Structure 1
Amino acid sequence: MKNLINALYRNHSLGYKLLLFVSTTFLIVYLFPKSGKFKYNFEKGKPWQSENLYAPFNFAIKKSDAELASEKQKIKENSPLYFNVNSTTPKLVKTNFEKAFATMFTDSLSASKRFQLEQAGLNIIDNLYEFGVLNDDFVFPETKKVIILEDRVEKQQTQFGNLVEEDELSAVITRVLEKSNLQHYATAFTSLFFDLVIPNLEYNKTFSARVLQEELDQVAFTRGSVERETLIISKGEVVEGIKFQILKSLEAEYESQVWNKSNYNWIVFAYTLLVALALLMLLLFLKKYRLSVFENNVKVTFIFFNVIIMVLLTTFVVDYNSQYVYVVPICILPLVLKAFFDARLGLFTHVITVLLLGLIVPNSYEYMFLQIIAGIVTILTVSELYKRANLFISVGQITLIYFVAYFAFFVIHEGSVETLKWETFGLFILCGLATLFVQPLIYAFEKLFGLVSDVSLLELSDTNSKLLKELSNTAPGTFHHSLNVANLAEAAANEIGANAMLVRVGALYHDIGKMKNPTYFTENQATGINPHDELAPLESAAIIINHVIDGIEIARKNNLPDRVMDFIRTHHGTSLVYYFFKKEEERDPQVKREDFMYPGPKPFSKETAILMMCDSVEAASKSLKEPTSAKINDFVESILNKQMQDDQFINANITFKEIQSIKKVLKQKLANIYHLRIEYPE
């Protein structure tokens, strides 16, 4: 049991990566759509790019959404309205009319006239209640079919325009009286019937809605069928009309038949295999080519976190509306990774992420081609991200690449530009604008994961910062030395393609530990008094060596990033404090060499190796008397060759060719510093 615990402890970093790998795989699979992906990509109006397609099984042709909507609209227009009628109302109105008529019209009228008027009134009632009088105002088309129910039984059918609304009473009275040439009695009859007419039609809304719903439920969602082995579409044929509908029906049939519940676990398993394979390639890349990143769990977590974020955003947009998939700023991923790591890692991770997204987006080949090309352009064009203009220029170039690539694909598919979808170009512009969000995102990641980008390095390089101000006041000689080393290191880094900003910042802070005992270092001994004269060589060596440890403590108190502290740790490697070692050796030939050596570690990157070279050369150059080009050449060669003999660069990924280039730069810079000129004959 104890051995097992010890083994787990020794391999806890690998265990964490395994847990991260598994959890990321399952999270991405969880975000993916829970169905298989139709193996053919097609778009309406574009040529069929695959081979001739034959029906793999019998299936029905589904109607399009537009067809179904049209059918349902016709049903709604033709569906009748149902009204309940009260058949006793006309009789009651006639009885009340006879009473009111006798009161209104006096005996002064002749019997024939009186009879004529009475018959006209009865005709008015018959016209009003021929189909019925409405009890409310309704907004329906005049031609809308109406069925009148009496005791739930259909009594008659008519159109809504034949039903009488209360505000139409005067018009009906006038029309009837005009037929009998009694129109001059219209006012009297209108006044009479205003109090007599009783509505007898009530709209049966519930029954009308139920009948409409029954008719809608009977709408067929399919029309016709396709038999197995029937040719659906040929290669190069344009996908439109019935062909498009058949293909959509086949895709839907796959979802209902092929991707059923019994196959769900297999589909999830297949997705898991593909995602795991892609993420495994990413881990293997880190282990083989970026071992320092692979061994840092925070950095590995950061990379996987960014992949998950991109998958999450894309799946959300695809679920909402796949037409907006190009709004997702995928190029933020290589931008962020390049800011914190390097271009090669950024591009590799970008490609892996795009391959994963190709499983869920429509037109996956076109999508992957556009995004990979855009990622390559991002890596190639973005440099010195801390300069705002560079980011805007790069985003403009990325957007232009989107435009060109999409235009090319569209012409290939359509064969013309007449139906070009200009709104897609708007999506690319929105994507470019969203990519500009990378700056605040980088700042957030720095705080969240404790990483350092070039933007932060630019802030740290400000010599007016609190810590560098303190260094210039406390140890002015050391500050001046650090500035010189920074200039040399930056030039050397530019020569071999290393991170110039990082090495410059490392050079500015590499000797901050000397602030603790500034006068014990020769560059700060302005008075000519050397306190080492009163100390034993071993004590002097300890003070000199401890400036590395003191520097790390000061850096931690001032929250300097680990990438900067690496320069403090490694700028002397495991070299020997040679002067005091020789001094002690004169006193005690049995002196231990280890007591006069820096604790290390040795430089483990190009940048830290560059700083070691430049620091040693700049410090030792102060001892040159009457420097010449030959002296400087021999001087630089001897120092750097000695460091190589001591295996100080054995852990750094720097080549002999690069070291030779650095030697050349240092020789040129020192020659400029000492203002060497060609001696002209008198």
Structure 2
Amino acid sequence: MFLSVAIVTLFLPKQPRFKYEYEKGKLWMNQDLISPYGFAIEKTPDELEKDRQDVLKSVQPIYKLETEVMETEVQTFLTDFELKWTTAGEKPGAKGHYKNFGISLLNSIYQRGVMTLSKRYQRSGPNYNFQLVQNNVSEQLNTVETFTLDAANKYAEDEIKNNAAIANKEWLLSIVKDRIKQNYIFDELLTERLEEEGLRNISLTRGMVQQGELIVANRALITPEVYQKLESLKNTFEKDDRIRGDKRVIFIGQFLLGGLIVSLLMIFLRLFRRDIFQDNRQISLILIVITSMMVTLSWAIQFKIPNVYYIPYAIVPIIIRILFDTRLALNIHLLVVLIAGFFVPNSFEFAFLQVTSGMVAIYSIKNLVKREQFLISALLILSDYFICFVGISLIRNGSFLQIEWVSFIPFIISVLLSLLAYPLIYLFEQIFGITSEVSLMELTNTNAKLLRELSYKAPGTFQHSLQVANLAEAAIYNIGGNGLLVRAGALYHDIGKMENPQYFIENQNRGSNPHDSLSYEASAQIIIRHVTKGIEIARRNHLPEIIIDFIKTHHGNTRMDYFYQSFLKNFPEKFVDENIFRYPGPIPFSKETGVLMLADSVEAASRSLKDPDAKSINSLVDRIIDYKLDQGQLNNSNITLKDIAMIRQIFKSMLMSIYHVRVDYDL
């Protein structure tokens, strides 16, 4: 407990809580708020984004004039011209005109400039202003005054086409086009440097609130302007070391709150779940789950994730519900949400969302009988988040049009992450030796290896176990309890009979009974031994202890009256040790084990009825249950008289159709 509180306290952010809760558009329900000190009013994200866009618009892209490009390309043109002139098919006297016109055309293009336009700066149209740098001198131009490569090629084509003195236009155009290159080169590095400098100079504040100035009056409307002042005051309070106080004192406060939460949890366990309170493994598991969630929240706050609702808070009640029970899951979830509320913004809204989603998670897996319930639970949690999100948005904004649907994305991711609970449950089961309802579902599969072996070696016992499972499950559902657990226990309670199946009447052929050749003491010991053998088989096959409890207790410490009374009748002069005819126990210690004992005895006894009818079945059920009560077999099982009455009624109605005959010695 101490280690858990210490770890949580160590990781929690060490900043004091701003004591006021407020929302834009609502009334200020506290006393008049006077500024305790001067502080700057921070700009809103929208204002900062507008300033950023203004800065980016004000910075013109920088282009450098590369003079070497014109010189190089003109010289290359002359070289190409001389080499290719013989292919022009013109008179020698026309050579000078062709050459001079080509040089003049290239000079006019490069003097105007050739560049590539950037879509980034085409905000108001295809053209934009830019700065041209030449010899460290900057000149503002507009792209409308320059050529792009395509425009330069089109210009050259038009000029050559309009010159009547040029006969072989295609020949000259091909040479000129090859020599048109960009000479205005975009300087991306310098442009970005200017933009970054401009962004760094953006002011994050707009105005000041002086010490002693009224920020908001009691019951005044929190306008956007007032809201921003409150946000600025809160941020100043939480960031300024001189204001927010000593971190060591904050640590003490957090330790006290964490200690209180864990203490309340321990008190709850001590009062209502003493079995968990006395089991260090289970307490360790619970504290690990709580500590892990709180550390995850602390990391999320410290790393400033965009939204705390990305954290899958519903994972805690899911894990605790499946590994333990509904009441404990709800109690732990409430405590975890309460402590988290001190460190998240809009704590009431956070608590409302998480408490309702946790309740939905717990209720949706109240009776886990199919794996598809995992996905159904996730959908129900998402539906709860959606309803809460829409409701809170409508209360806050008063309009459907102002709902920010993109803000619902964190909830979707949170629900998807909550599905990680199921592999974590398996991990916790293996580490802490706890059996979840997921494992119970696997155990109740009649195709499981041990149950298949039972159906092969002792088919009568297998059928008996199925009938007992049906009786016990129906009863436990009506009186309250874990139906899946009692069904699993019923299916495995008689697996010890696989060792000597022929000694049990349900597996015997008619007319053949091996007990006829045995003494009463030997027969009793063989029958009783199926309990200890069942425990051995269960442990050898790694069945959970919670299932082995059903094997131990399904006969309690009752006496095997058939063989005991037969011994007394036939050997009245001999001394008899009654313990030879008594099961080792212990007696049932839960509702589930108690119901199984009753279902097992009633189902077994009902097979001995010769002509079953309503009267004989009613009499049989009452006799068996009364006998167990008289023997004190249900003293530790937490079953009330009202539960007993309900069990009688259910057993009677379900046994009306059973017509099997069975000897009473296996009672």
Give the TM-score, by structure 2 length.
0.74
Amino acid at match of 1:36: P
Is the partner of 1:232 in helix, strand or coil?
strand
Match in the other structure for 1:11: none
Which among 25, 36, 49 is matched to residue 16 of structure 2? Answer: 36
Go from structure 1 to structure 2 and tell me whether the alpha carbon gap of 1:209 and 1:519 turns closer, same or farther (over 3 Å shift).
closer
RMSD: 4.6
Q: Distance in 1 between matches of 2:248 and 2:506?
A: 72
Aligned residues: 580
Does residue 502 of structure 1 match 2:482?
no
Compare 296-305 and 278-287 and name the one that shifted more.
296-305
Which among 361, 380, 387 is matched to residue 404 of structure 1? Answer: 387
Offset at residue 483 of structure 1 (A): 1.8
Is the partner of 2:656 in helix, strand or coil?
helix
Which among 335, 349, 360 is matched to residue 332 of structure 2? Answer: 349
Go from structure 1 to structure 2 and tell me whether the alpha carbon gap of 1:665 and 1:71 turns closer, same or farther (over 3 Å shift).
closer
Does residue 674 of structure 1 match 2:654?
no
Offset at residue 462 of structure 1 (A): 2.4
Identity fraction in percent: 40
Which among 529, 554, 561 is matched to residue 537 of structure 2? Answer: 554
Is the partner of 2:612 in helix, strand or coil?
coil
Task: Tell me if the contact between 2:535 and 2:552 (Cα under 8 Å) persists in the aligned partners.
Answer: yes
Which among 252, 258, 263 is matched to residue 269 of structure 1? Answer: 252
Which among 500, 508, 513 is matched to residue 517 of structure 1? Answer: 500
Task: Tell me if the contact between 2:486 and 2:593 (Cα under 8 Å) persists in the aligned partners.
Answer: yes
Is the partner of 1:457 in helix, strand or coil?
helix
Match in the other structure for 1:453: 436
Match in the other structure for 2:292: 309
Match in the other structure for 2:467: 484
Q: Deviations over 1:216-250 (max 9, x none)?
A: 98887655443344221235655455423322321
Amino acid at match of 2:34: Y
Task: Tell me if the contact between 1:81 and 1:146 (Cα under 8 Å) persists in the aligned partners.
Answer: no
Q: Distance in 1 between matches of 2:614 and 2:449?
A: 39
Amino acid at match of 2:483: A
Offset at residue 665 of structure 1 (A): 0.9
Is the partner of 2:215 in helix, strand or coil?
strand
Q: Distance in 1 between matches of 2:492 and 2:195?
A: 81
Which among 318, 331, 356 is matched to residue 335 of structure 1? Answer: 318
Q: Deviations over 1:328-358 (max 9, x none)?
A: 3322332332222222222212212211221
Which among 625, 629, 632 is matched to residue 610 of structure 2? Answer: 625
Offset at residue 580 of structure 1 (A): 3.1
Is the partner of 1:672 in helix, strand or coil?
coil
Compare 271-280 and 26-35 and name the one that shifted more.
26-35
Does residue 602 of structure 1 match 2:587?
yes
Q: Distance in 2 between matches of 1:71 and 1:611?
A: 74
Task: Tell me if the contact between 1:570 and 1:600 (Cα under 8 Å) persists in the aligned partners.
Answer: yes
Q: Distance in 2 between matches of 1:515 and 1:27?
A: 51
Q: Distance in 2 between matches of 1:49 and 1:433?
A: 38
Which among 396, 399, 414 is matched to residue 416 of structure 1? Answer: 399
Which among 644, 656, 662 is matched to residue 659 of structure 1? Answer: 644
Compare 545-554 and 525-534 and name the one that shifted more.
525-534
Amino acid at match of 1:333: V
Task: Tell me if the contact between 2:276 and 2:283 (Cα under 8 Å) persists in the aligned partners.
Answer: yes
Gaps of 5+ in 1: 1-20, 83-136, 150-156, 168-202, 676-682
Offset at residue 552 of structure 1 (A): 0.9
Compare 412-421 and 352-361 and name the one that shifted more.
412-421
Compare 585-594 and 511-520 and name the one that shifted more.
585-594
Which among 37, 52, 55 is matched to residue 35 of structure 2? Answer: 55
Go from structure 1 to structure 2 and tell me whether the alpha carbon gap of 1:419 and 1:46 turns closer, same or farther (over 3 Å shift).
farther
Q: Distance in 2 between matches of 1:370 and 1:496?
A: 33
Offset at residue 558 of structure 1 (A): 1.0
Task: Tell me if the contact between 2:42 and 2:205 (Cα under 8 Å) persists in the aligned partners.
Answer: yes
Which among 617, 633, 647 is matched to residue 632 of structure 2? Answer: 647
Offset at residue 569 of structure 1 (A): 1.1
Q: How does 1:151-190 map to 2 (within 5 A)?
A: none
Task: Tell me if the contact between 1:514 and 1:551 (Cα under 8 Å) persists in the aligned partners.
Answer: yes
Amino acid at match of 1:31: F
Task: Tell me if the contact between 1:35 and 1:259 (Cα under 8 Å) persists in the aligned partners.
Answer: no
Amino acid at match of 2:9: V
Offset at residue 560 of structure 1 (A): 1.1
Offset at residue 318 of structure 1 (A): 3.9
Match in the other structure for 2:476: 493
Q: Distance in 2 between matches of 1:336 and 1:290?
A: 17
Offset at residue 384 of structure 1 (A): 4.0
Give the TM-score, by structure 1 length.
0.72
Compare 407-416 and 341-350 and name the one that shifted more.
407-416
Task: Tell me if the contact between 2:238 and 2:244 (Cα under 8 Å) persists in the aligned partners.
Answer: no
Q: Deviations over 1:618-671 (max 9, x none)?
A: 122222233332222222112111211222112212211111111111111222
Amino acid at match of 2:254: Y
Task: Tell me if the contact between 1:77 and 1:144 (Cα under 8 Å) persists in the aligned partners.
Answer: no
Amino acid at match of 1:662: I
Q: Deviations over 1:28-62 (max 9, x none)?
A: 22332221222223455666565542223343444
Q: How does 1:112-123 map to 2 (within 5 A)?
A: none
Compare 402-411 and 426-435 and name the one that shifted more.
426-435
Is the partner of 1:673 in helix, strand or coil?
coil
Q: Distance in 2 between matches of 1:146 and 1:260?
A: 51
Q: Distance in 1 between matches of 2:414 and 2:245?
A: 40
Offset at residue 291 of structure 1 (A): 1.8
Q: Deviations over 1:537-558 (max 9, x none)?
A: 4443333222211111101111
Task: Tell me if the contact between 2:368 and 2:437 (Cα under 8 Å) persists in the aligned partners.
Answer: yes
Task: Tell me if the contact between 1:322 and 1:361 (Cα under 8 Å) persists in the aligned partners.
Answer: no
Offset at residue 278 of structure 1 (A): 1.3
Task: Tell me if the contact between 1:322 and 1:362 (Cα under 8 Å) persists in the aligned partners.
Answer: no
Amino acid at match of 1:28: V
Offset at residue 65 of structure 1 (A): 6.4
Go from structure 1 to structure 2 and tell me whether the alpha carbon gap of 1:573 and 1:81 turns closer, same or farther (over 3 Å shift).
closer
Does residue 381 of structure 1 match 2:361?
no
Gaps of 5+ in 2: 63-115, 122-127, 148-186, 661-667
Offset at residue 276 of structure 1 (A): 1.7
Task: Tell me if the contact between 1:146 and 1:159 (Cα under 8 Å) persists in the aligned partners.
Answer: yes
Go from structure 1 to structure 2 and tell me whether the alpha carbon gap of 1:361 and 1:319 turns closer, same or farther (over 3 Å shift).
same
Match in the other structure for 1:679: none
Does residue 300 of structure 1 match 2:280?
no
